[in-house]
Structure 1
Amino acid sequence: MEFVPDNVDVDELERRKALYGPLAEAVRELVDATIRSEVDDEVIREVHAEVAAATSKLRARQIDGAFGMRLTAAGESIAWGNAGVGLRNAIAPPLVIESDDSGRHWTDVTLGAAYEGPPGMVHGGICALVLDHLLGVTASADARRYTGTLTLRYLRATPLGPLRAEARVVGVDGRKATVRGTLSDSAGVTVEAEGIFISRR
Protein backbone atom coordinates (compact mmCIF):
# COMPACT_ATOMS: atom_id res chain seq x y z
CA MET A 1 0.00 0.00 0.00
CA GLU A 2 1.35 3.39 -0.98
CA PHE A 3 1.19 6.19 1.56
CA VAL A 4 1.27 9.68 0.10
CA PRO A 5 2.95 12.32 2.29
CA ASP A 6 0.56 15.15 3.11
CA ASN A 7 2.48 16.90 5.85
CA VAL A 8 -0.37 18.90 7.32
CA ASP A 9 -0.30 19.90 10.97
CA VAL A 10 -3.14 19.43 13.46
CA ASP A 11 -4.72 22.83 12.80
CA GLU A 12 -4.76 22.33 9.04
CA LEU A 13 -6.17 18.82 9.44
CA GLU A 14 -9.01 20.14 11.59
CA ARG A 15 -9.66 22.93 9.08
CA ARG A 16 -9.97 20.39 6.27
CA LYS A 17 -12.26 18.16 8.35
CA ALA A 18 -14.55 21.12 9.04
CA LEU A 19 -14.58 21.99 5.33
CA TYR A 20 -14.99 18.59 3.65
CA GLY A 21 -17.01 16.71 6.27
CA PRO A 22 -20.15 18.87 5.93
CA LEU A 23 -19.87 18.78 2.13
CA ALA A 24 -19.86 14.96 2.09
CA GLU A 25 -22.79 14.92 4.55
CA ALA A 26 -24.74 17.29 2.29
CA VAL A 27 -24.11 14.95 -0.66
CA ARG A 28 -25.33 12.00 1.45
CA GLU A 29 -28.51 13.97 2.12
CA LEU A 30 -28.78 14.70 -1.60
CA VAL A 31 -28.50 11.00 -2.43
CA ASP A 32 -31.21 10.15 0.11
CA ALA A 33 -33.44 12.94 -1.19
CA THR A 34 -32.88 11.83 -4.81
CA ILE A 35 -34.02 8.30 -3.97
CA ARG A 36 -37.11 9.35 -2.02
CA SER A 37 -38.25 12.55 -3.74
CA GLU A 38 -41.73 12.83 -5.27
CA VAL A 39 -41.48 16.45 -6.43
CA ASP A 40 -42.75 17.67 -9.81
CA ASP A 41 -40.83 17.06 -13.04
CA GLU A 42 -39.84 20.71 -13.34
CA VAL A 43 -38.24 20.69 -9.88
CA ILE A 44 -36.30 17.55 -10.80
CA ARG A 45 -34.99 19.27 -13.94
CA GLU A 46 -34.00 22.37 -11.95
CA VAL A 47 -32.15 20.32 -9.33
CA HIS A 48 -30.46 18.28 -12.07
CA ALA A 49 -29.05 21.48 -13.58
CA GLU A 50 -27.95 22.77 -10.17
CA VAL A 51 -26.19 19.49 -9.31
CA ALA A 52 -24.48 19.42 -12.72
CA ALA A 53 -23.27 22.99 -12.17
CA ALA A 54 -21.98 22.16 -8.67
CA THR A 55 -20.17 19.09 -10.01
CA SER A 56 -18.54 21.20 -12.72
CA LYS A 57 -17.27 23.64 -10.07
CA LEU A 58 -15.71 20.82 -8.03
CA ARG A 59 -14.10 19.29 -11.12
CA ALA A 60 -12.34 22.57 -11.98
CA ARG A 61 -9.37 21.37 -9.93
CA GLN A 62 -9.00 17.77 -8.75
CA ILE A 63 -6.45 15.01 -8.18
CA ASP A 64 -5.80 12.24 -10.67
CA GLY A 65 -7.29 8.89 -9.68
CA ALA A 66 -8.42 7.96 -6.18
CA PHE A 67 -7.72 9.76 -2.90
CA GLY A 68 -5.48 6.97 -1.57
CA MET A 69 -3.88 6.93 1.87
CA ARG A 70 -2.07 10.02 3.11
CA LEU A 71 -0.05 10.74 6.20
CA THR A 72 -0.01 13.87 8.35
CA ALA A 73 3.20 15.36 9.72
CA ALA A 74 2.54 13.34 12.90
CA GLY A 75 2.13 10.08 10.97
CA GLU A 76 -1.68 9.90 11.28
CA SER A 77 -3.31 8.21 8.29
CA ILE A 78 -5.89 10.07 6.24
CA ALA A 79 -8.13 7.68 4.28
CA TRP A 80 -10.81 10.17 3.32
CA GLY A 81 -11.78 8.34 0.13
CA ASN A 82 -12.39 5.02 1.93
CA ALA A 83 -15.81 3.48 1.15
CA GLY A 84 -16.39 2.58 4.81
CA VAL A 85 -15.07 5.55 6.76
CA GLY A 86 -14.00 8.20 4.24
CA LEU A 87 -14.67 11.71 5.52
CA ARG A 88 -14.89 12.99 1.94
CA ASN A 89 -16.75 9.96 0.57
CA ALA A 90 -20.51 10.41 0.48
CA ILE A 91 -20.91 6.68 -0.24
CA ALA A 92 -19.41 5.85 3.18
CA PRO A 93 -22.05 5.67 5.97
CA PRO A 94 -19.46 6.65 7.50
CA LEU A 95 -18.45 4.12 10.15
CA VAL A 96 -17.05 5.38 13.46
CA ILE A 97 -15.12 2.53 15.11
CA GLU A 98 -14.82 2.37 18.90
CA SER A 99 -12.99 -0.09 21.16
CA ASP A 100 -12.40 -1.00 24.78
CA ASP A 101 -9.53 -2.46 26.78
CA SER A 102 -10.81 -6.02 26.28
CA GLY A 103 -10.08 -5.85 22.54
CA ARG A 104 -13.73 -5.56 21.51
CA HIS A 105 -14.41 -3.19 18.61
CA TRP A 106 -17.80 -1.91 17.51
CA THR A 107 -19.62 0.63 15.43
CA ASP A 108 -23.16 2.00 15.64
CA VAL A 109 -24.42 3.05 12.23
CA THR A 110 -27.74 3.99 10.66
CA LEU A 111 -28.18 2.73 7.11
CA GLY A 112 -30.93 4.44 5.13
CA ALA A 113 -32.40 4.30 1.64
CA ALA A 114 -29.04 4.52 -0.17
CA TYR A 115 -28.04 1.11 1.22
CA GLU A 116 -31.19 -0.84 0.30
CA GLY A 117 -31.12 -4.26 -1.35
CA PRO A 118 -34.40 -6.15 -0.87
CA PRO A 119 -37.26 -3.74 -0.10
CA GLY A 120 -36.71 -2.17 3.31
CA MET A 121 -33.57 -4.24 3.91
CA VAL A 122 -29.84 -3.56 3.74
CA HIS A 123 -28.07 -4.90 0.64
CA GLY A 124 -26.04 -7.98 1.55
CA GLY A 125 -22.92 -6.44 0.01
CA ILE A 126 -23.25 -3.42 2.31
CA CYS A 127 -23.47 -5.78 5.32
CA ALA A 128 -20.24 -7.33 4.04
CA LEU A 129 -18.62 -3.90 3.67
CA VAL A 130 -19.46 -2.94 7.25
CA LEU A 131 -18.19 -6.23 8.67
CA ASP A 132 -15.08 -6.40 6.48
CA HIS A 133 -14.04 -2.93 7.56
CA LEU A 134 -14.75 -3.50 11.25
CA LEU A 135 -13.02 -6.88 11.32
CA GLY A 136 -10.04 -5.38 9.48
CA VAL A 137 -9.68 -2.57 12.01
CA THR A 138 -9.99 -5.09 14.83
CA ALA A 139 -7.31 -7.34 13.29
CA SER A 140 -5.00 -4.35 12.84
CA ALA A 141 -5.02 -3.18 16.46
CA ASP A 142 -1.44 -4.38 16.96
CA ALA A 143 -0.18 -4.67 13.36
CA ARG A 144 -1.62 -3.58 10.00
CA ARG A 145 -3.38 -6.57 8.45
CA TYR A 146 -5.40 -7.05 5.27
CA THR A 147 -8.34 -9.29 4.43
CA GLY A 148 -7.31 -12.79 3.40
CA THR A 149 -10.71 -14.44 3.62
CA LEU A 150 -14.09 -13.26 4.84
CA THR A 151 -16.92 -15.71 5.49
CA LEU A 152 -20.42 -14.41 6.14
CA ARG A 153 -23.50 -16.22 7.40
CA TYR A 154 -26.72 -14.32 6.79
CA LEU A 155 -29.13 -15.41 9.52
CA ARG A 156 -31.97 -13.18 8.34
CA ALA A 157 -32.50 -9.98 6.39
CA THR A 158 -31.01 -6.86 7.97
CA PRO A 159 -33.56 -4.03 8.13
CA LEU A 160 -32.63 -0.49 7.18
CA GLY A 161 -32.17 1.76 10.20
CA PRO A 162 -29.94 1.74 13.28
CA LEU A 163 -27.52 -1.19 13.52
CA ARG A 164 -24.55 -2.29 15.59
CA ALA A 165 -21.56 -4.30 14.42
CA GLU A 166 -19.11 -5.86 16.90
CA ALA A 167 -15.86 -7.79 16.45
CA ARG A 168 -13.08 -9.43 18.40
CA VAL A 169 -9.80 -11.22 17.58
CA VAL A 170 -10.16 -14.91 18.47
CA GLY A 171 -6.70 -16.09 17.49
CA VAL A 172 -3.31 -15.03 16.13
CA ASP A 173 -0.93 -17.37 14.31
CA GLY A 174 2.17 -15.63 13.05
CA ARG A 175 1.10 -13.12 10.42
CA LYS A 176 -2.53 -14.28 10.51
CA ALA A 177 -5.26 -13.06 12.84
CA THR A 178 -8.70 -14.66 12.99
CA VAL A 179 -11.51 -12.26 13.80
CA ARG A 180 -15.19 -12.93 14.45
CA GLY A 181 -17.97 -10.39 14.34
CA THR A 182 -21.68 -9.79 14.09
CA LEU A 183 -24.11 -7.28 12.65
CA SER A 184 -27.28 -6.75 14.69
CA ASP A 185 -30.50 -4.80 14.80
CA SER A 186 -32.63 -4.24 17.91
CA ALA A 187 -33.98 -7.80 17.67
CA GLY A 188 -30.57 -9.50 17.58
CA VAL A 189 -27.90 -10.76 15.19
CA THR A 190 -28.61 -10.67 11.46
CA VAL A 191 -25.16 -11.54 10.05
CA GLU A 192 -22.22 -13.48 11.50
CA ALA A 193 -18.72 -13.04 10.07
CA GLU A 194 -15.32 -14.68 10.40
CA GLY A 195 -12.23 -13.40 8.67
CA ILE A 196 -8.56 -14.20 8.38
CA PHE A 197 -6.43 -11.07 8.14
CA ILE A 198 -2.79 -11.19 7.12
CA SER A 199 0.05 -8.76 7.75
CA ARG A 200 2.65 -8.09 5.05
CA ARG A 201 6.02 -9.76 5.33
Structure 2
Amino acid sequence: MTSDVEGAPYDPELMAAVADLGEALRGLVDASVRTTVPAAELHEVAAVVRAARERLAVSTRPATRLPVLDDPVVFRRVYNPVSGVGSALAPPVLFRSATADGVDGAVIARTSFGLAYEGPPGFLHGGMSGLVMDQALGAAAIRAGLWGMTARLELDYRRPVPLDTPVLLRARVTEHAGRKAVVTGTIAPASAPDTPLVEARGLFVLPREELRAAYFAEITDASGRHAPPSRPTDATAPSGTGA
Protein backbone atom coordinates (compact mmCIF):
# COMPACT_ATOMS: atom_id res chain seq x y z
CA MET A 1 0.00 0.00 0.00
CA THR A 2 1.06 3.60 -0.67
CA SER A 3 0.03 6.79 1.12
CA ASP A 4 0.29 10.52 0.52
CA VAL A 5 1.61 12.62 3.40
CA GLU A 6 -1.05 12.33 6.14
CA GLY A 7 -3.39 10.73 3.62
CA ALA A 8 -5.21 7.43 3.71
CA PRO A 9 -3.32 4.48 2.14
CA TYR A 10 -4.25 3.43 -1.37
CA ASP A 11 -3.52 0.56 -3.72
CA PRO A 12 -0.64 1.71 -5.97
CA GLU A 13 -1.49 -0.91 -8.60
CA LEU A 14 -5.05 0.38 -8.83
CA MET A 15 -3.80 3.98 -8.95
CA ALA A 16 -1.45 3.09 -11.80
CA ALA A 17 -4.28 1.35 -13.66
CA VAL A 18 -6.63 4.33 -13.22
CA ALA A 19 -3.92 6.72 -14.45
CA ASP A 20 -3.16 4.42 -17.39
CA LEU A 21 -6.82 4.29 -18.43
CA GLY A 22 -7.17 8.05 -17.95
CA GLU A 23 -4.20 8.70 -20.22
CA ALA A 24 -5.57 6.30 -22.83
CA LEU A 25 -9.00 7.94 -22.73
CA ARG A 26 -7.53 11.42 -23.08
CA GLY A 27 -5.57 10.19 -26.07
CA LEU A 28 -8.75 8.71 -27.55
CA VAL A 29 -10.66 11.97 -27.06
CA ASP A 30 -7.86 13.95 -28.68
CA ALA A 31 -7.60 11.55 -31.61
CA SER A 32 -11.38 11.57 -32.07
CA VAL A 33 -11.47 15.32 -32.70
CA ARG A 34 -8.38 15.33 -34.95
CA THR A 35 -9.07 12.26 -37.07
CA THR A 36 -9.96 12.40 -40.75
CA VAL A 37 -10.51 8.66 -41.27
CA PRO A 38 -13.56 7.61 -43.35
CA ALA A 39 -17.02 6.88 -41.95
CA ALA A 40 -16.64 3.09 -42.04
CA GLU A 41 -13.57 3.30 -39.79
CA LEU A 42 -15.42 5.61 -37.38
CA HIS A 43 -18.27 3.10 -37.05
CA GLU A 44 -15.83 0.29 -36.32
CA VAL A 45 -14.04 2.29 -33.65
CA ALA A 46 -17.38 3.29 -32.11
CA ALA A 47 -18.26 -0.40 -31.75
CA VAL A 48 -14.95 -1.05 -29.98
CA VAL A 49 -15.54 1.87 -27.61
CA ARG A 50 -19.07 0.65 -26.80
CA ALA A 51 -17.71 -2.80 -25.99
CA ALA A 52 -15.12 -1.23 -23.66
CA ARG A 53 -17.84 0.79 -21.96
CA GLU A 54 -19.84 -2.38 -21.28
CA ARG A 55 -16.81 -3.95 -19.60
CA LEU A 56 -16.36 -0.94 -17.30
CA ALA A 57 -20.09 -0.69 -16.52
CA VAL A 58 -20.16 -4.16 -14.93
CA SER A 59 -19.34 -2.51 -11.58
CA THR A 60 -20.09 1.18 -10.94
CA ARG A 61 -20.62 3.55 -8.02
CA PRO A 62 -23.36 6.12 -7.32
CA ALA A 63 -22.56 9.83 -7.46
CA THR A 64 -22.78 10.06 -3.66
CA ARG A 65 -19.97 7.53 -3.10
CA LEU A 66 -16.35 8.64 -3.32
CA PRO A 67 -13.98 6.56 -5.47
CA VAL A 68 -11.87 4.15 -3.45
CA LEU A 69 -8.68 6.05 -4.38
CA ASP A 70 -10.00 9.46 -3.30
CA ASP A 71 -9.00 11.11 -0.03
CA PRO A 72 -10.53 14.58 0.40
CA VAL A 73 -8.28 15.33 3.41
CA VAL A 74 -5.21 15.49 1.14
CA PHE A 75 -7.27 16.59 -1.88
CA ARG A 76 -6.65 13.37 -3.78
CA ARG A 77 -9.43 13.40 -6.41
CA VAL A 78 -8.56 11.02 -9.22
CA TYR A 79 -11.50 11.95 -11.48
CA ASN A 80 -11.40 15.72 -11.02
CA PRO A 81 -12.19 17.26 -14.46
CA VAL A 82 -9.18 19.58 -14.30
CA SER A 83 -6.51 17.68 -12.38
CA GLY A 84 -7.68 14.07 -12.12
CA VAL A 85 -5.27 11.47 -13.49
CA GLY A 86 -8.21 9.17 -14.22
CA SER A 87 -10.39 11.74 -15.95
CA ALA A 88 -10.90 11.69 -19.72
CA LEU A 89 -11.85 15.37 -19.47
CA ALA A 90 -8.85 16.71 -17.56
CA PRO A 91 -5.79 18.17 -19.36
CA PRO A 92 -4.67 17.27 -16.49
CA VAL A 93 -3.23 20.24 -14.59
CA LEU A 94 -0.82 19.81 -11.67
CA PHE A 95 -0.64 22.84 -9.38
CA ARG A 96 2.41 23.50 -7.23
CA SER A 97 3.86 26.23 -5.08
CA ALA A 98 4.62 29.22 -7.27
CA THR A 99 7.82 30.02 -5.40
CA ALA A 100 9.19 26.64 -6.46
CA ASP A 101 9.66 28.19 -9.91
CA GLY A 102 10.71 31.59 -8.62
CA VAL A 103 7.38 33.11 -9.63
CA ASP A 104 5.45 35.36 -7.26
CA GLY A 105 2.06 33.99 -6.23
CA ALA A 106 0.49 31.11 -4.38
CA VAL A 107 0.21 28.39 -7.04
CA ILE A 108 1.41 27.84 -10.57
CA ALA A 109 0.81 25.26 -13.30
CA ARG A 110 1.95 24.77 -16.86
CA THR A 111 -0.26 23.02 -19.39
CA SER A 112 -1.60 23.19 -22.92
CA PHE A 113 -5.07 22.62 -24.31
CA GLY A 114 -5.81 20.40 -27.29
CA LEU A 115 -8.56 20.49 -29.88
CA ALA A 116 -11.02 18.80 -27.53
CA TYR A 117 -11.28 22.15 -25.68
CA GLU A 118 -11.80 24.31 -28.76
CA GLY A 119 -14.25 27.21 -28.79
CA PRO A 120 -13.44 29.76 -31.51
CA PRO A 121 -11.44 27.97 -34.23
CA GLY A 122 -7.91 27.47 -32.97
CA PHE A 123 -8.59 28.85 -29.49
CA LEU A 124 -9.72 27.65 -26.07
CA HIS A 125 -13.44 27.61 -25.24
CA GLY A 126 -14.23 30.41 -22.79
CA GLY A 127 -16.09 28.02 -20.50
CA MET A 128 -12.98 25.87 -20.21
CA SER A 129 -11.07 28.94 -19.05
CA GLY A 130 -13.64 29.34 -16.30
CA LEU A 131 -13.38 25.70 -15.25
CA VAL A 132 -9.59 25.76 -15.08
CA MET A 133 -9.40 29.09 -13.30
CA ASP A 134 -11.98 28.04 -10.72
CA GLN A 135 -9.70 25.10 -9.96
CA ALA A 136 -6.59 27.32 -9.84
CA LEU A 137 -8.19 29.84 -7.50
CA GLY A 138 -9.41 27.06 -5.22
CA ALA A 139 -5.94 25.52 -5.15
CA ALA A 140 -4.48 28.90 -4.15
CA ALA A 141 -6.97 29.20 -1.30
CA ILE A 142 -5.92 25.77 -0.07
CA ARG A 143 -2.25 26.73 -0.38
CA ALA A 144 -2.98 29.66 1.93
CA GLY A 145 -4.64 27.38 4.48
CA LEU A 146 -8.13 28.54 3.54
CA TRP A 147 -11.02 26.91 1.78
CA GLY A 148 -14.57 27.42 0.73
CA MET A 149 -17.01 26.86 -2.09
CA THR A 150 -17.11 29.19 -5.09
CA ALA A 151 -19.62 31.97 -4.43
CA ARG A 152 -18.62 34.20 -7.36
CA LEU A 153 -16.29 33.80 -10.31
CA GLU A 154 -15.46 36.72 -12.62
CA LEU A 155 -13.34 36.45 -15.76
CA ASP A 156 -11.94 39.09 -18.08
CA TYR A 157 -11.00 37.68 -21.48
CA ARG A 158 -8.15 39.91 -22.67
CA ARG A 159 -7.07 37.78 -25.64
CA PRO A 160 -8.01 34.31 -26.87
CA VAL A 161 -6.02 31.38 -25.46
CA PRO A 162 -4.34 29.46 -28.33
CA LEU A 163 -4.62 25.69 -28.51
CA ASP A 164 -1.62 23.32 -28.60
CA THR A 165 0.45 26.06 -26.99
CA PRO A 166 2.11 25.99 -23.53
CA VAL A 167 0.35 28.31 -21.08
CA LEU A 168 0.99 29.32 -17.50
CA LEU A 169 -1.71 29.40 -14.81
CA ARG A 170 -1.12 31.48 -11.69
CA ALA A 171 -3.34 32.25 -8.70
CA ARG A 172 -3.01 33.81 -5.25
CA VAL A 173 -5.17 34.88 -2.31
CA THR A 174 -5.48 38.65 -2.17
CA GLU A 175 -7.97 39.07 0.70
CA HIS A 176 -9.47 36.93 3.42
CA ALA A 177 -11.60 37.53 6.48
CA GLY A 178 -13.78 35.15 8.45
CA ARG A 179 -15.44 32.63 6.14
CA LYS A 180 -14.58 34.55 2.95
CA ALA A 181 -11.51 34.65 0.72
CA VAL A 182 -10.85 36.58 -2.49
CA VAL A 183 -8.46 34.93 -4.94
CA THR A 184 -7.13 36.23 -8.25
CA GLY A 185 -5.33 34.52 -11.09
CA THR A 186 -4.35 34.54 -14.75
CA ILE A 187 -3.81 32.40 -17.81
CA ALA A 188 -0.83 33.62 -19.85
CA PRO A 189 1.45 32.26 -22.56
CA ALA A 190 4.35 30.34 -21.02
CA SER A 191 6.60 32.40 -23.28
CA ALA A 192 5.14 35.69 -21.98
CA PRO A 193 3.90 35.06 -18.42
CA ASP A 194 3.32 38.74 -17.69
CA THR A 195 0.93 39.16 -20.63
CA PRO A 196 -2.37 37.75 -19.34
CA LEU A 197 -4.83 36.27 -21.77
CA VAL A 198 -7.46 35.66 -19.10
CA GLU A 199 -7.78 37.34 -15.71
CA ALA A 200 -9.95 35.80 -12.98
CA ARG A 201 -11.26 36.85 -9.59
CA GLY A 202 -13.14 34.51 -7.29
CA LEU A 203 -14.95 34.78 -3.98
CA PHE A 204 -14.80 31.59 -1.91
CA VAL A 205 -17.05 31.19 1.12
CA LEU A 206 -16.91 28.47 3.75
CA PRO A 207 -20.55 27.34 4.17
CA ARG A 208 -21.98 27.48 7.65
CA GLU A 209 -21.79 24.20 9.54
CA GLU A 210 -25.48 23.43 9.13
CA LEU A 211 -25.28 24.01 5.37
CA ARG A 212 -22.24 21.76 5.04
CA ALA A 213 -24.14 19.04 6.87
CA ALA A 214 -27.07 19.42 4.46
CA TYR A 215 -24.94 19.65 1.30
CA PHE A 216 -22.97 16.50 2.06
CA ALA A 217 -25.55 14.48 4.01
CA GLU A 218 -25.49 11.59 1.53
CA ILE A 219 -21.76 11.48 0.78
CA THR A 220 -20.00 8.26 1.74
CA ASP A 221 -16.55 6.81 1.33
CA ALA A 222 -15.93 3.79 -0.89
CA SER A 223 -17.02 1.40 1.89
CA GLY A 224 -20.38 3.16 2.26
CA ARG A 225 -19.51 4.93 5.52
CA HIS A 226 -20.85 8.48 5.85
CA ALA A 227 -17.91 10.78 5.08
CA PRO A 228 -18.87 14.47 4.85
CA PRO A 229 -15.86 16.59 3.88
CA SER A 230 -14.45 18.92 6.48
CA ARG A 231 -12.20 20.49 3.85
CA PRO A 232 -12.73 21.14 0.13
CA THR A 233 -12.84 18.20 -2.23
CA ASP A 234 -12.67 19.86 -5.64
CA ALA A 235 -9.12 21.23 -5.67
CA THR A 236 -5.67 19.76 -5.86
CA ALA A 237 -3.18 20.26 -3.05
CA PRO A 238 -0.18 22.06 -4.54
CA SER A 239 3.13 20.32 -4.04
CA GLY A 240 6.16 21.99 -2.56
CA THR A 241 6.47 24.00 0.61
CA GLY A 242 7.11 27.39 -0.97
CA ALA A 243 10.00 27.86 1.40
Shorter-chain TM-score: which interval? 0.7 to 0.9
| SS of the residue 1:26 aligns to | helix
Where structure 1 has 5 or more consecutive residues not aligned to the other structure, the ranges are: 1-6
Distance 1:147 1:74 in 2: 17
1:170 pairs, out of 174, 179, 182, with 174
Distance 2:180 2:122 in 1: 37
Aligned pairs (5 A) from 1:88-103: 88-100=86-98
Note the C-alpha offset of 1:179.
0.9
Distance 1:70 1:145 in 2: 24
Quick one: structure 1 residues 74 and 9, their matched pair in 2 at CA, closer, same or farther if it must change by over 3 Å?
farther
Aligned pairs (5 A) from 1:49-88: 49-65=47-63, 68=66, 75-88=73-86
Distance 1:91 1:45 in 2: 22
Tell me the residue number matched to 1:9: 9
| SS of the residue 2:150 aligns to | strand
Distance 1:18 1:94 in 2: 15
Tell me the residue number matched to 1:184: 188
Query: Given the alignment of the two structures, is residue 114 of structure 1 paired with residue 116 of structure 2, yes or no?
Result: yes
Quick one: structure 1 residues 72 and 183, their matched pair in 2 at CA, closer, same or farther if it must change by over 3 Å?
closer
Note the C-alpha offset of 1:66.
6.2
Distance 1:125 1:74 in 2: 25
Query: Given the alignment of the two structures, is residue 198 of structure 1 paired with residue 205 of structure 2, yes or no?
Result: yes
2:127 pairs, out of 125, 128, 137, with 125
The runs of at least 4 aligned residues of structure 1 exceeding 6 Å deviation read 69-74
Quick one: structure 1 residues 193 and 74, their matched pair in 2 at CA, closer, same or farther if it must change by over 3 Å?
closer
Counterpart residue type for residue 179 of structure 2:
R
Question: Under a length normalisation based on structure 2, what TM-score does the superposition of the two structures give?
Answer: 0.72
Distance 1:71 1:143 in 2: 24
> RMSD value over aligned CA atoms?
2.3
Q: In the TM superposition, what whole-angstrom CA distance separates every residue of 1:25-75 from its partner, at most 9, and x where no partner exists?
A: 111111111111111222212111111111111111111236647687895
Tell me the residue number matched to 1:4: none
Tell me the residue number matched to 2:211: none
Moved more, 120-129 or 69-78: 69-78
| SS of the residue 1:178 aligns to | strand
| SS of the residue 1:169 aligns to | strand
Q: In the TM superposition, what whole-angstrom CA distance separates every residue of 1:73-111 from its partner, at most 9, and x where no partner exists?
A: 895343222211122211011110011457520111110
Q: Which structure is richer in relative contact order (CA contacts within 8 A, separation 6 or more)?
A: 2
Tell me the residue number matched to 1:146: 149
Tell me the residue number matched to 2:237: none
Counterpart residue type for residue 28 of structure 1:
R
Quick one: structure 1 residues 171 and 74, their matched pair in 2 at CA, closer, same or farther if it must change by over 3 Å?
closer
Identical aligned pairs, as a percentage?
Answer: 36
Quick one: structure 1 residues 43 and 52, their matched pair in 2 at CA, closer, same or farther if it must change by over 3 Å?
same
Give the count of matched residue pairs: 193
Residues 154 and 200 in structure 2, CA contact (< 8 A), matched pair in contact too: yes
| SS of the residue 1:106 aligns to | strand
Distance 2:49 2:72 in 1: 37
2:39 pairs, out of 31, 38, 41, with 41
